[in-house]
Structure 1
Amino acid sequence: MTSGTAVRLGGRALARVSGEDARHFLQNLITCDLDHVGDTGASHGALLTPQGKILFAFLVRPTGDGGYLLETDAASLPDLVKRLTFYKLRAKVTVEDVSSSFAVFAAWDADAGALRTAFPDAHVFDDPRRAELGLRLYLPLGDAGDDASAPAGLAGGTEADWHARRVASCVPEAPFDYALGDAFPHDVDMDELGGVAFDKGCFVGQEVVSRMQHRGTARRRVIQVSGADALPASGTDVMAGDKPAGQLGTVAGARGLALVRLDRIAQARAAGTPVTAGDVALEPHIPDWASFDWPVPAGGD
């Protein structure tokens, strides 16, 4: 007997990397360390430009036969397959779009063991970013059904419910909270959410990202914001007084995520200057799991 809530994420899709060189191939390209994934887990990671910006962000799941599933934004999946194919050169790997074989679900308040028993051909695993996000399920389409309903035994939720959980946990995702090709991993808290391995050796863009880590030069971060009223739409500018400080990302009622300049928000807070989005006053919050803090404004103690 299963229980819990599940949401089919129609905007997410899967690629598969397989073949005898699959692990070595990916390990030398992406930000996370596959040695820490094991056979039953998953990781959060990205493929970067040589300048260190995120081209593709994904979850990486071992398939048990030496291959990996990469879950990413469905709109960017064809480009991810193309880019990985470009990198493979003579490596003995196959890169393919398998989005027509699996449906992607997020589930919470559910028992992973019961789900594995109920769906033995599915991939069921903890979301590697934050425990509060619950489980991921990759169900063969025959088990998932043809509509957006939850798998048998699970209550159906909505994608709005899922995004509200992400907001509550301060877990950003592209394209909702940042544009691919325009953000460093530190900007979107990937370094704090287990998405970058600074001790595994080289990957594409590693030099830039490691320099940001060791010098502490990240000025932009995704943080939580809240207001007394419903927040305006995603993409609305966040203002620190009359200075632009960032943009709203995912919005869930009166709470949301925002990619902001920490220094400008800190200066506004110190001066008592309002932080706003549209005509809504914002209260910015750094998530409690973060190791970063508000910078001390110039002239402060």
Structure 2
Amino acid sequence: MAGEGIAGRTLWRLTGKDVLTFLQGLVTNDVLPLGRGPGLVWTGFLTPQGKYLADFFVIRREGDDDSFLIDIPEPLAASTLKRLTMYRLRADVQIAPADGLHVTRGTGPAPAGALPDPRAPSLGWRAYGPDTGGPAVTDWAALRVAAGVPEYPDDLLPDDSYILEMGFERLNGVNFRKGCYVGQEVTARMKHKTELRKGLRQVRLDGPSAPGTPVMAGDRVVGRLGTVAGDRALAYLRHDQAEGPLLAGSSGVFPE
């Protein structure tokens, strides 16, 4: 089955004998299973203070025994790759554009070599190859909202978002048994020692509104809208204050 193309993504190839151990010490998820065979891992990359910098997929394709791909939002690629290069030191890791490769996706029968999206079954599969894919016919925003899956830039904000508040644990984006990584101490403390007072919620809207619109409870800002898909949206809300009538602009907001 032909896949749909994805705008705004870029692919990079990582080669060298230290790729997986290098990434393992930097990102939120466990990438070492990719050393055993093809797979797709979604992970976050954080500041030392535990705030989101980027999220991306790490991919090992069938037949790629000595290289891995990173599938990342294009606007985040330059800054992320600069940081990865800074951390590389003497590790045997080379990073270069994956020229000639594209990412496609779909929700129907998966073509050979495609890999399931690890965030949610409803998001189907992703494939990496020379095919640029066809036009998008699936309402991917609606699928993400229904599954509670955030994305940059509407939901995930660099130097601002905390991944546990944005659902990374539920969506298989963080591993608490893998050992240290950048931002691990803050993330672990949020997991084990605090009750999250803010987080991502699915909401219903009774009128039009746009991502980034503040959510108001009276004269108090209690959150902001993220991805909007028709009359459904994701919203980042303060759990203890998002009560009573809520408005985003002139539209009512109803947590679900």
After superposition, the Cα gap between the structure-2 partners of 1:221 and 1:165, relative to the gap in structure 1 and judged at 3 Å, is: same
Per-residue displacement from partner, 1:163-207 (whole Å, max 9, x unpaired)?
Answer: 121112110011121211211111211122111111111011111
User: What amino acid maps onto 1:234 in structure 2?
Assistant: P
State how far apart, in whole Å, the 2-side matches of 1:247 and 1:41 are: 34
1:108 paired with 2:107, answer yes
State how far apart, in whole Å, the 2-side matches of 1:194 and 1:130 are: 9
Unpaired segments ≥5 residues, structure 2: none
1:33 paired with 2:30, answer yes
Match in the other structure for 1:157: 136
State how far apart, in whole Å, the 1-side matches of 2:66 and 2:201 are: 37
Match in the other structure for 2:170: 192
User: What amino acid maps onto 1:194 in structure 2?
Assistant: N
1:15 paired with 2:12, answer yes
Instruction: Give SS of 2:85's match.
Output: helix
Match in the other structure for 1:137: 127
Per-residue displacement from partner, 1:111-144 (whole Å, max 9, x unpaired)?
Answer: 22xx11xxxxxx511001000100112221xx32
1:174 paired with 2:152, answer yes
Match in the other structure for 2:83: 83
Match of 2:210 among 207, 230, 233: 233
After superposition, the Cα gap between the structure-2 partners of 1:68 and 1:55, relative to the gap in structure 1 and judged at 3 Å, is: same
Shifted more, 52-61 versus 213-222: the winner is: 213-222
Instruction: Give SS of 1:81's match.
Output: helix
Instruction: Give SS of 1:71's match.
Output: strand
Deviation at 1:240, TM superposition (A): 2.1
State how far apart, in whole Å, the 2-side matches of 1:80 and 1:96 are: 13
Match in the other structure for 1:289: none
TM-score (norm 1): 0.79
| Counterpart contact for 1:7–1:162, Cα < 8 Å | no
Per-residue displacement from partner, 1:226-266 (whole Å, max 9, x unpaired)?
Answer: 1233x30111111123211111111111111111112211x
Instruction: Give SS of 1:204's match.
Output: coil
Q: Which has the higher helix share?
A: 1
Deviation at 1:33, TM superposition (A): 0.5
Instruction: Give SS of 2:114's match.
Output: strand
TM-score (norm 2): 0.92
State how far apart, in whole Å, the 2-side matches of 1:241 and 1:137 are: 46
Q: Which has the larger radius of gyration?
A: 1
Match in the other structure for 1:207: 185
User: What amino acid maps onto 1:46 in structure 2?
Assistant: G
Deviation at 1:35, TM superposition (A): 3.1
State how far apart, in whole Å, the 2-side matches of 1:43 and 1:54 are: 17
User: What amino acid maps onto 2:85 in structure 1?
Assistant: T
User: What amino acid maps onto 2:122 in structure 1?
Assistant: E
Per-residue displacement from partner, 1:247-287 (whole Å, max 9, x unpaired)?
Answer: 1111111111111112211xx1xxxx2011111111112xx
User: What amino acid maps onto 1:20 in structure 2?
Assistant: K
User: What amino acid maps onto 1:186 in structure 2?
Assistant: L
State how far apart, in whole Å, the 2-side matches of 1:22 and 1:211 are: 28
Match in the other structure for 2:40: 42
After superposition, the Cα gap between the structure-2 partners of 1:181 and 1:101, relative to the gap in structure 1 and judged at 3 Å, is: farther
Deviation at 1:158, TM superposition (A): 4.2
Percent identity reads: 39
State how far apart, in whole Å, the 2-side matches of 1:127 and 1:20 are: 26
Instruction: Give SS of 1:78's match.
Output: helix
Match of 2:247 among 258, 263, 276: 276
Match in the other structure for 2:96: 96
